Structure 1
């Protein structure tokens, strides 16, 4: 992990902790950056929207600023800093000491929300630091899809984002959390995320990074604490020149009949990616699978680290990892069917970076497809 001097950044709050009442008033450049972070400012087909801060009035859904939730619910003793130790590292300590934002989302018992909840963390200014704490609760039998985006303004330079997130999926609940990052080339990003899934619950996490980032390090942990619980992580990551990405996902199968899956697709066009994956099983029967695949184009480095760990009979854990370049015979095969070399390469890249993830809005799908199409020529960066 690279060293980060947090004293370089201002975590005093100010603009980056203030409410944004009307996203349509943002500059056009920033609205486009939000589209690439999954947020369409004109979309009304959502259950609620949060961007430091919009409130929602949907039956069965609580959506509010974390600071308001801490006041309203007497400090949220059931959830706040219950899965993560604030003394874990410098970043958790700073987030604990300098809380200046975040959200509390709760789907009430038995409530199934058909439209996604949108959330976005946005940073403006030079040397700005943003320190947030998010709590997501899906009560028994409820279902929730959050479409989260993180972005910097087009003029932001040398910014830092510290993001604490705690996920709670109760018995029979289902949470789908789709996160899209659109950080700047000089942004330092340190998410710290932990979740717990109770019996029969399902957690699915989709993570997408297609644009440059200065220095990103994250390793979310999901504990399957109840019988029949399921966790799935899907990641699509592109690292252009200058980007340093140390990322991965960890699943702990701590109850019988649990299942975990980690699937990642990583492409470097000059950047460095450390791609981690871990599944541990402390109970049986349990099943887990890791799949880490990397593609190198125009230089760069990918270091894949898959790990499986168990001492239990009746556990089935597997992994496959591969890192390489586009095979020339694949290019030639497509060229023989009428594509030129760039078109053939883009077709292969698009197939490799499968972003057909359920629930993405059309503007985001279109923007992402355009970015992927431009990767081979380097124009996307």
Structure 2
């Protein structure tokens, strides 16, 4: 985790938030949610119609309210139910993330409210995504969740996780532990969309472990105001020919402080890792660390971090490469700056005004087509970008 500008990082007072159990009524159908709540979930990439989904999980405040699966080969449970069913999940629960890492992991371990458990069967190809939502309704609610994903041998899965607050909530705290295990030949695409309130504090802690021939592809999208995010997911490629990639798009309006990066550790021969980060500040602060560490050879890694400063704000990209043995191939490129005036003039010469030209360039910069998202999620993200542009310009 980056320690840069540590004195400026908004501090979290755990005592300010309510962690008392706030049980919510169960929902048989996500369409029972209010229209306002359905819109919030959609802006976090969650389709309440559950069309083209293999299953859904919704956690509100401190309890599960909906859990369903409609495709053979994937199991979806609340983490508390999974702990009961599988004798405490001794191979997985708190095995990738250290519960004593910091005050937030200790708080999550002391009182877990819930979270999703998703497991594929060996060889299962889950064609439609599983969607989950971690939702906060209520001012100054503190939420502890613990999520576990297990992708068994030769199986494939796409998980879309939306994290959001209701429209009337400005202040809350989300503590999320996520442990991801990808077995031999397994493939996971993990897409996370954050849509928080302006004074929400977010402290997720995520670790993925990938075995031989496994693939982990992570997409992270944060386009709306948030008070503070501190996140540094790490993936350990422990099996030969394992592959990991991170794609992130972050926007920091005035008042937002985002310390978010990624780490890939190449621990086995012929492993490959890539980190691609796109950041925009319209007045907020973004700290964007990225680390690729090679501990065996041959292994390859590439890190790319680009940022746009559209108004007063800070972007600090921190690419870091570490090789501990000969034969590791690691590279990086980083660039932070403003939109080139010649690019704007080029588009204006073709009939656009300055605002339209700037908007076109920004949309291209935030293009998420490279992520290979489902069409309906792509459309949802385009809607988020449209809403974000109104604030940008």
Alignment partner for residue 372 of structure 2, among 321, 337, 358? 358
2:158 alignment counterpart: 145
| Aligned equivalents of 2:114, 2:150: Cα separation in 1 | 17
| Aligned equivalents of 1:19, 1:74: Cα separation in 2 | 25
| Aligned equivalents of 1:266, 1:20: Cα separation in 2 | 37
2:286 is equivalent to residue 273 of structure 1: yes
Q: Which runs of 5+ in 2 are unaligned?
A: 1-5, 60-65
Q: CA RMSD in A?
A: 1.5
Alignment partner for residue 9 of structure 1, among 17, 37, 49? 17
Please, what TM-score do these two structures have when normalized by structure 1? Answer: 0.96
Deviation >4 Å, runs of 4+: 373-377
> 1:32-59 CA distances to partner (integer Å, 9 max, x unpaired)?
1111100111132111011123121431
2:172 alignment counterpart: 159
2:149 is equivalent to residue 136 of structure 1: yes
1:82 is paired with a residue whose SS is: coil
2:332 alignment counterpart: 319
User: 1:1-381 residue pairs with structure 2 within 5 A?
Assistant: 1=6, 2=9, 3-15=11-23, 19-52=26-59, 53-356=66-369, 357-362=371-376, 364-373=377-386, 375=388, 378=391
| Aligned equivalents of 1:306, 1:19: Cα separation in 2 | 45
Q: Which runs of 5+ in 1 are unaligned?
A: none
How far off is 1:19 after superposition? Answer: 4.1
1:237 is paired with a residue whose SS is: strand
| Aligned equivalents of 1:20, 1:197: Cα separation in 2 | 35
User: Comparing 5-14 with 220-229, which one deviates more in the overlay?
Assistant: 5-14
Q: How many residues align structurally?
A: 378
Contact 1:13 1:130 in 2 (8 A): no
2:391 is paired with a residue whose SS is: coil
How far off is 1:310 after superposition? Answer: 0.7
| Aligned equivalents of 2:259, 2:102: Cα separation in 1 | 16
2:62 alignment counterpart: none
> 1:54-93 CA distances to partner (integer Å, 9 max, x unpaired)?
1214311110000000001100011000011111000000
